[in-house]
Structure 1
Amino acid sequence: MTSAERPFRFGVNLITVADRQSWLDGARQVEDLGYDILLVPDHLGFPSPFPALVAAAGVTDHIRLGTCVLNAGFYNPTILARDVATADLTTDGRIELGLGTGYVRAEFEKAGLPFESAGKRVAHLRTIVETVYGHLDDYSYAPRPTQSHVPLFLAGNGDKMLRLAAERADIVGFTGASTDRDGTMSLNSAADLEERVRFARDAAGARADDIEWNLLVQKVVVTEDREQRTAELHAEYAPGLSVEEFAALPTVLVGTAAEIADKLLDIRARIGISNITVLENARDEFAAVIDILRR
């Protein structure tokens, strides 16, 4: 199966936990809406990923549960291996381990951790991956995860990060955005994203069609007036791009549910991205797009 033929999987990144019941109700709703993956990011001020995912497993039947993505700089690899194994064991083998280098300087400073260069952060992430999977792949290790292999999801944008992802990951994620030294994010053009995908696929070589390619969508607006809403969002999100360039962004989906579905089909056909993650605020309206693509 080529990447262009791989079935879609859809995930939603959840961050809001008002209380226990609202979180559990939200998890049930994600599954009921047809999503394949419930994801939790890893930022200070947001819920702790593994407790939130384990709680969600208790009220759902089949949805996969993932981190999108853990900040490797926050973790000791041996302790993380224990947490991953325990989470997989207590969710009946539904965990997908997402990892990244971390990119927000202020979060490192708040945690009392050094904010190293990008190269050093990638090197630390490599150590995390090698140590965690060294433990998980050792059948004498305890506790044992339920899955024989916990899927590894690595996400980023830079050359070193994408080389590591192409070498090791089961799922490779693209943010479609660049960050400055302090972690401020700006959206990349469609051409920039496609170049990053080509770079990663070339680095993967023979593995390219075995990898599942993911995109984090930054904005979803289901509307009958695509042109007007695109113009409004352009001014807010990416004034440095032309309106035409903004409309072409794979990370911004604006239009009717059918138009958005067509855009995602085109993205999959052209660059092989079939794993789509949306943010929490798009959870409900994006479900209409999922329904069209399932049919």
Structure 2
Amino acid sequence: MAPSIGFFTRVLDDASAPERYRIALDQVALAEQLGYRTAWVAQHHLDGAEGGLPSPFVLLAAAAARTSRIRLGTAILTLAHEQAARAAEDAAVLDAIADGRVELGLGTGGSPRTLSAFGEDAAHRRAIYDAKLVRLRSLLDGSADVELYPRAHGLADRIWQATFSAEGARTIGAHGDGLMLSRVQPPPIDLPAGASPPRVWDVQRPLVDAYLEALPAGVAPRVLASRSVVVVDPAERRSVRALAEQGIGRQLEQLQGVTPGSLSIDELLERSETHLGTPAEVIDSLAADVVAAGATEVSVQVHSVDPHPAIAARSIELFAREVAPALGWKVGHRLQEERHVA
């Protein structure tokens, strides 16, 4: 089955907080018009340079008021920072406002600094997350010792979890949750110095296999592949590539120790798993991604290029109108046909 398409934002535009949120809401509305299935937003705490949205339910409630079809998801809600009952209530209220369109993506997320600010011990982040997930799930599915209001009709079946490991993917599958795959994977610990890491789809294939093997019988798989995609008109190609060279170069210097200026722009794009270019170029590069092709949804984002909002909006449009259809991925009317049949 071909994947549907989603839109993802870290809310990182070079603008004030009010303007960042206005841009994000405009992008969600545009994505709905163009036939995207889901709009996903990331949560980050206490660091506007890492991500501009600490309160995803608030922004998604505003998005719900401006839209009627597109699904609205967290990617991810950093659950270790949250109070489980509060998160369950917020998710349930949002789902009521959005007429059942919420997708609840969860993960550990955060840093020792942010966890400490929320009164949690980063040394026990995994255990904290696991305990809060059990409580959240019980509140959403009605098995808790208290009754949630409003009731979260079906929301427990729309939980997704993020992971970087096959073991984590196996656990997610065993629970029947959706699997969220990142746009990049941490490089293998045994990777020789100076060597190029394997492509993201080669690293993620074992995760998908482990997830599918653990999925209970009768539960439909849900695999979300997030990818960095910037589609441009030919006239904008040179300037956006120059912008990408700066942004990706800084990122790879920080994360992988890449010496500035040591890689060409094409090498930077490959190393960062960024699909940037004209529609024909992006079609060609994404065609090699077997994990994306086999996912149930591919969610595209412009990070780490982070171009001007007008370029980002044009990329959202070009991806839906030219790239996704050429790859056979589901856009607009095909989604409506499937919903009608269901």
Provide TM-score, normalisation by structure 1.
0.77
Per the alignment, do residues 103 and 21 of structure 1 end up closer, same or farther by CA in structure 2, a change over 3 Å counting? Answer: closer
Count of residues in correspondence between the two structures? 279
* Superposed counterparts of 1:101-180, under 5 Å: 101-116=108-123, 120-138=124-142, 141-147=148-154, 149-168=156-175, 169-178=177-186
Say yes or no: does 1:289 pair with 2:319.
Answer: yes
Corresponding residue number in structure 2 for 1:265: 287
* Superposed counterparts of 1:22-101, under 5 Å: 24-44=25-45, 45=48, 46-47=52-53, 48-101=55-108
Which structure 1 segments of 5+ residues have no match? 180-187
- Contact kept? 2:7, 2:36, Cα under 8 Å: yes
* Superposed counterparts of 1:117-266, under 5 Å: 120-138=124-142, 141-147=148-154, 149-168=156-175, 169-178=177-186, 189-191=197-199, 193-205=201-213, 207=215, 210-218=220-228, 220=230, 222=232, 224=234, 229=241, 232=245, 235-238=249-252, 239=258, 246-248=268-270, 251-266=273-288
CA RMSD across the alignment: 3.5
Distance (Å, rounded) in 1 between the aligned partners of 2:279 and 2:313: 13
Per the alignment, do residues 122 and 115 of structure 1 end up closer, same or farther by CA in structure 2, a change over 3 Å counting? Answer: closer
Corresponding residue number in structure 2 for 1:18: 18
Distance (Å, rounded) in 1 between the aligned partners of 2:226 and 2:281: 18
1:268 Cα deviation from its structure 2 partner: 3.9
1:174 Cα deviation from its structure 2 partner: 2.3
Distance (Å, rounded) in 2 between the aligned partners of 1:14 and 1:246: 21
Per the alignment, do residues 142 and 129 of structure 1 end up closer, same or farther by CA in structure 2, a change over 3 Å counting? Answer: same
Residues 214-269 of structure 1, C-alpha deviations (whole Å, 9 max, x = no match): 2333463536469x949946755443796676554583102211221233333147
Distance (Å, rounded) in 2 between the aligned partners of 1:96 and 1:279: 21
- Contact kept? 1:73, 1:102, Cα under 8 Å: yes
Higher Rg: 2
1:81 Cα deviation from its structure 2 partner: 1.7
Secondary structure, counterpart of 2:122 in structure 1: coil
Q: Alignment identity in percent?
A: 23
1:195 Cα deviation from its structure 2 partner: 2.4
- Contact kept? 2:39, 2:73, Cα under 8 Å: yes
For 1:32, give the aligned amino acid.
Q
Secondary structure, counterpart of 2:100 in structure 1: coil
Per the alignment, do residues 57 and 192 of structure 1 end up closer, same or farther by CA in structure 2, a change over 3 Å counting? Answer: closer
1:65 Cα deviation from its structure 2 partner: 0.5
Corresponding residue number in structure 1 for 2:336: none
Corresponding residue number in structure 1 for 2:335: none
Which structure 2 segments of 5+ residues have no match? 188-195, 253-257, 307-311, 327-342
- Contact kept? 1:165, 1:172, Cα under 8 Å: no
Residues 75-127 of structure 1, C-alpha deviations (whole Å, 9 max, x = no match): 122222222112111211111101111142332234343222xxx42333232
Provide TM-score, normalisation by structure 2.
0.68
- Contact kept? 2:34, 2:317, Cα under 8 Å: yes
1:136 Cα deviation from its structure 2 partner: 1.6
- Contact kept? 2:89, 2:150, Cα under 8 Å: yes
Distance (Å, rounded) in 1 between the aligned partners of 2:86 and 2:279: 43
Distance (Å, rounded) in 1 between the aligned partners of 2:204 and 2:181: 11
1:43 Cα deviation from its structure 2 partner: 0.9
Distance (Å, rounded) in 1 between the aligned partners of 2:131 and 2:35: 36
Corresponding residue number in structure 1 for 2:3: 7
Deviates more, 1:87-96 or 1:249-258: 249-258
Which one has a larger percent strand, Structure 1 or Structure 2?
1
Deviates more, 1:234-243 or 1:250-259: 234-243
Distance (Å, rounded) in 2 between the aligned partners of 1:163 and 1:121: 19
For 1:9, give the aligned amino acid.
I
For 2:289, give the aligned amino acid.
I
For 2:115, give the aligned amino acid.
F
- Contact kept? 2:27, 2:313, Cα under 8 Å: no
For 1:277, give the aligned amino acid.
V
1:22 Cα deviation from its structure 2 partner: 5.6
